[in-house]
């Protein structure tokens, strides 16, 4: 079945969002679609914008990242048009998401930021989310910015180990 390319790009975005249990960032969707050379950046941004305008996806900005989520209207639309996505494209999406799900989830679900307090120290705000709910939130006050930045970097890499350790020690 021949279809308009823009429709296919929109269906790909909807399909990707349907296949995960967490939001994807614009950058994550861009990376996959542009790497596969399905379309160019400007056309992809137009497709995402149109999906947002007609409420098939929603977005929120968290820590300077735009996270995209499938709405119920989007899910219904995808269910109706799912067969219009070629099977090889579905397979590429499924393989990509399976191979990268932990990294993709961590990128949107695990955040670490810091700020300077009025007393001159730095406070880190570390969080891990799952299905839109906080699994863990942790605040640490440290004496300098270098330490705060290091904690945030390590949090991105070691959050699962830290969570497991806390669960083991607390339960």
Residue pair 109/22 in contact (Cβ under 8 Å)? The answer is: yes
| Whether residue 123 has pLDDT greater than 80 | yes
CATH 1.10.10.10, applies to 5-108 = yes
Q: Where in the chain is the domain with CATH 1.10.10.10?
A: 5-108
Question: Using CA atoms, how far apart are residues 78 and 14, in angstroms rounded to an integer?
Answer: 6
Residue 141 pLDDT greater than 70, yes or no: yes
Considering the entire predicted model, what is its pTM? Answer: 0.72
- Which tokens in the block code for residue 92? 């590429």
Q: What percent of the chain has pLDDT over 90?
A: 68
Q: How far apart are CA 27 and CA 156, in angstroms?
A: 17
In angstroms, the CA 74 to CA 80 distance is: 10
pLDDT above 90 for 130: no
Q: 71 pLDDT band (50/70/90 cuts)?
A: very high
Q: For residue 121, what is the DSSP state?
A: -
């Amino acid at each position: 079945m021949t279809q308009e390319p823009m429709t296919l790009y929109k269906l790909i975005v909807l399909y990707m969002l349907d296949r995960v249990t967490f939001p994807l960032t614009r950058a994550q969707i861009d990376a996959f679609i542009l790497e596969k050379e399905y379309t160019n950046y400007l056309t992809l941004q137009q497709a995402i914008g149109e999906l947002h305008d007609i409420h098939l996806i929603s977005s929120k900005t968290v820590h300077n990242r735009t996270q995209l989520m499938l709405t119920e209207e989007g899910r219904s639309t995808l269910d109706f048009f799912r067969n219009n996505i070629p099977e090889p494209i579905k397979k590429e999406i499924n393989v990509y998401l399976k191979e990268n799900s932990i990294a993709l989830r961590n990128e949107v679900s695990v955040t670490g930021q810091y700020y300077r307090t009025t007393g001159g120290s730095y406070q880190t705000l570390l969080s891990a989310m799952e299905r839109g709910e906080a699994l863990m939130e942790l605040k640490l006050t440290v004496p300098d910015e270098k330490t705060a930045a290091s904690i945030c970097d390590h949090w991105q890499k070691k959050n699962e180990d830290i969570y497991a350790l806390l669960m083991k020690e607390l339960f």
